[in-house]
Structure 1
Amino acid sequence: MRVAIVMGSASDLPKMTDAIDFLKSFGVEVSVRALSAHRAHEALSEFLNETKTDGTEVIIAAAGKAAHLPGVIASQTIKPVIGVPIKGSALDGMDALLSIVQMPAGIPVATVAIDGSKNAAILALQMMAIKHEDIKAKLNKHREEMTAEALNANTKIMEQYK
């Protein structure tokens, strides 16, 4: 069980650590790379060739500004690609969001919120849960824990404002 996380720049790493940590907490191997679609396209293609045989099931691609990386990756693989638009320009990530979400027909990229790396990890796990029962069980437990936390917060608010 492996997910590849590719960032357009090493400066994107702080925004991706939530995804990396969350995936690892589920026992998923994570390959992390900083490979620009523009400045390191040959190395990117070489890495994508490796993902064909190394057990990678989903690829998460994070990029800011023009954010071509997720689309370039999707054009070279049939594995699911999840795009994470990164805030980092004068447009606060809207440029990256629109670049990632507006893929041409036939080359889809699933897209999460700006700086939404944890949701990208959860979406990757949901895709993998179709095949892996242990991930499915852990995701169900995670959902139950989130529900319990929300209900606990509700109870505290109700008690505070009786």
Structure 2
Amino acid sequence: MPKVGVIMGSSNDFTALENMIRLLHEFKIDVDVHVMSAHRTPARVQEYALSARTSGIEVIIAAAGKAAHLPGVIAAYTNLPVIGVPIKSSFMDGLDSLLSIVQMPNGIPVATVGVNGSENAAILAAQILSLRYDELVPMLRNYRAKMSKAVDQGEMTVQKEVELL
């Protein structure tokens, strides 16, 4: 079974990650969730990143706000794919978090999604894992088909509203 590590810098970040975790479960991906801080619990972050592969984790999603060093610190300790999720904070609406995550030095990449873009992180993790787990391919196709259907339904609703004008 595919396994993703999900690390958040604060328990306050959970609400921004809840739908992502649900989506990973929908894709039948095992999720290992923890709260750790690059600044307040650096030894624990290091230990987690160094042992992730032997724990069966194949992709790590790390979410953090403000200085948002967590994804980069994790990436420094592992060669597993790391996906960073910048969390919207009260300061700069999450732009500070986005820049902290996306501006990694050469050699230590972190794939980065948009601010509070945790669902895209789940989809990206599933796409990465689908290279090894063929059963994810139809699940990803079905997910996109479901999104397309929702857009089509929205089109029909708008057209009906326009006719009433």
Superposition TM-score, scaled by structure 2 size: 0.94
Distance 1:16 1:128 in 2: 19
Which residue in 1 is equivalent to 2:85? 84
Which residue in 1 is equivalent to 2:55? 54
Which residue in 1 is equivalent to 2:18? 17
Distance 2:141 2:16 in 1: 25
C-alpha RMSD of matched pairs (Å): 1.1
What is the CA-CA distance between 1:39 and the residue it aligns to?
A: 0.8
Matched residues, percent identical?
A: 46
Q: Deviations over 1:116-157 (max 9, x none)?
A: 111111111111111111111100011011111111211222
**What are structure 2's unaligned runs of at least 5 residues?**
none
Which residue in 1 is equivalent to 2:115? 114
The amino acid that maps onto 1:144 is A
Q: Deviations over 1:4-47 (max 9, x none)?
A: 00111111111111111110111111001111011111111121
Which residue in 2 is equivalent to 1:95? 96
What is the CA-CA distance between 1:2 and the residue it aligns to?
A: 0.3
Give structure 1 regions of 4+ aligned residues with deviation exceeding 3 angstroms. none
What is the CA-CA distance between 1:160 and the residue it aligns to?
A: 2.9
Distance 2:35 2:118 in 1: 15
Aligned residues: 162
**What are structure 1's unaligned runs of at least 5 residues?**
none
Distance 1:46 1:90 in 2: 30
SS at match of 1:96: helix
Asked whether the equivalents of residues 64 and 89 of structure 1 are also in contact (C-alpha less than 8 Å), the reply is no
Where do residues 83-162 of structure 1 align in structure 2 (5 Å cutoff)?
A: 83-162=84-163
Distance 1:137 1:47 in 2: 31
Superposition TM-score, scaled by structure 1 size: 0.96
The amino acid that maps onto 2:107 is G
Indicate how the Cα distance of structure 1 residues 149 and 72 shifts in structure 2: closer, same or farther if over 3 A, else same.
Answer: same
